[in-house]
Chains A and B, each alone.
Chain A
Amino acid sequence: MSYQVNLLNFEGPLDLLLNLIERSELEITQISLAQVTQQYLDYLGQIPNLDPLELNQFIELAAKLIHIKSQALLPTVDNPEFENDTAELAEQLSRYQHYQKASRYLQDLLSSGQRSWSGPVRASKPNIETVAPQNLDLNILSQAFRSAISKLPPITDNAQLMPKITIEAMIERIQDYLNRGVQSHLSQLLDEAKNRTEVLVLFLGLLELVKSGQIRVRQPHPFDDIELEAVYSTTKP
């Protein structure tokens, strides 16, 4: 009795449950709900990747069904709250069944092709599918492209074209600088930097020199200019 049904065809847990009950040609009662519980759980086990929120709704209903079935199997304890829950579910399911019927009527009406239009010639709304314009061909398109490009400003950012300074070169520059006078300030070096790239490389070069112990950096007071000092003020060998 295993049906190859794609769970995703069901609009939700109620849809599935109703389907199971109707398929068994049962009325909606506590008994029938208990009877289809196993089938419902079986289907639940087959669900492919469902959105957690949707899955949650299926599981919520599963819990109710299991409860109903357990009461049907062990009717020893009188539980008025349970009676209410069961009646509620049965009623909800009936109501859903009622509107499923109504939606089938609507579908029949739709399929019958009987419909009206309001307003004169405006009745035909333009088709939403895109239609290629008539006067378009490859030449026109490439001309348009060329003229669009010609309207673009030329690339004037020369920084793109300048040779970049390497860290090694920058390190040499720093050392030369420091060798001219034993102590210098960072601000002087920054003033010499021609662009943003040089500032960055200057910073990297300084860090490298500090790391290798070739220069010392000092800041006498907070926010003072930073002093740089070569550890050996002699020229390179």
Chain B
Amino acid sequence: MKTSVEITLEAILFMAGQSVALNRLATAVELDPASTAKALAKLQSNLSSRGIRLAQSGDQYSLVTAPSVASEVENFIGNQQRTELSKAALETLAIIAYRQPVTKTDIDAVRGVSSEQTLKNLLLRGLITESGRAKVTGKPVLYSTSLKFLEILGLSHAGQLPKIEQDSGEQS
């Protein structure tokens, strides 16, 4: 029975052609979100050596091409889409990627400069999303990385980001 849920999820995600929220998937397979998430995790692991992978960011899931064959896929599309990111953008992305969700103030505190413009750019490029509000005074916006962020780096989920030694010990 579990197997057919995974198969159903795989088929639905293929047909969707874009990212789908967990809740919608849960409804589609008539299960609660927690069980659906488990099935999706299994699907992700099943696909991990295929040409199509399952990417997950927050509550969004999407089938994506395997990063290892990026150049072949690129040739097929016939479209060079090199992403260029400025140093400021990379720093900001790194902070968000490793500490998400995180507020603008937190980001500024690490960088020692205002990240307002950079955040606007990253939002525009679809590399980060607003993922809620912090439970502190002023309820500032929280930022997280998006599925597109995972795509351009060839990752399936944020946990695949390389670990960096000398963790400052302030992981949220």
Contacts and interface: CB of A to CB of B under 8 A. Distances in A.
Given A102-B97, A103-B90, A117-B151, A14 B162 contact: no
A96 B67 contact: no
A123 B111 CA distance: 34
B19 to A, nearest CB: 7
Nearest to B86: A11
Interface in A1-46: 11-15
B91 A99 contact: yes
B90 A106 contact: yes
Contact of A14 (B65, B79, B113, B161): B113
A100 B91 contact: yes
B114 to A, nearest CB: 8
Contacts of B49: none
Interface in A30-64: 53-54, 57, 61
A124 B168 contact: no
A216 interface: no
A68 B167 CA distance: 26
B77 A124 contact: yes
Contact of A124 (B78, B83, B94): B78
Interface in B74-114: 77-79, 81, 83, 85, 87-88, 90-91, 93-95, 97-98, 109-114
A120 interface: yes
Given A95-B170, A116-B53, A119-B18, A11 B111 contact: yes
B94 A106 contact: yes
11 contacts: A12-B111, A57-B113, A61-B112, A98-B167, A105-B94, A105-B161, A114-B68, A114-B70, A115-B153, A116-B53, A116-B70
A99 B98 contact: yes
A148 interface: no
Given A103-B90, A106-B153, A118-B62, 6 more contacts: A103-B93, A109-B154, A110-B153, A113-B70, A118-B18, A124-B79
A118 B155 CA distance: 12
Contacts of A96: 110-112
Interface in B126-143: none
B147 interface: yes
B31 interface: no
A116 B66 contact: yes
Nearest to A105: B162
A160 B114 CA distance: 56
User: Which among A11, A116, A119, A122 has the greatest number of chain B C-beta atoms within 10 A?
Assistant: A116
A92 interface: yes
Contacts of B98: 99, 102
Nearest to A10: B87
Contacts of B63: 118
A91 B62 CA distance: 39
B170 A106 contact: no
B5 to A, nearest CB: 22
B17 interface: yes
Contact of B94 (A61, A102, A127): A102
A115 B80 CA distance: 12
A11 B88 contact: yes
A57 B112 contact: yes
B113 A103 contact: no
Nearest to B151: A116
B26 to A, nearest CB: 20
Ordered nearest first, which 4 A-B pairs have the shortest CB separation?
A12-B113, A14-B112, A116-B64, A102-B94
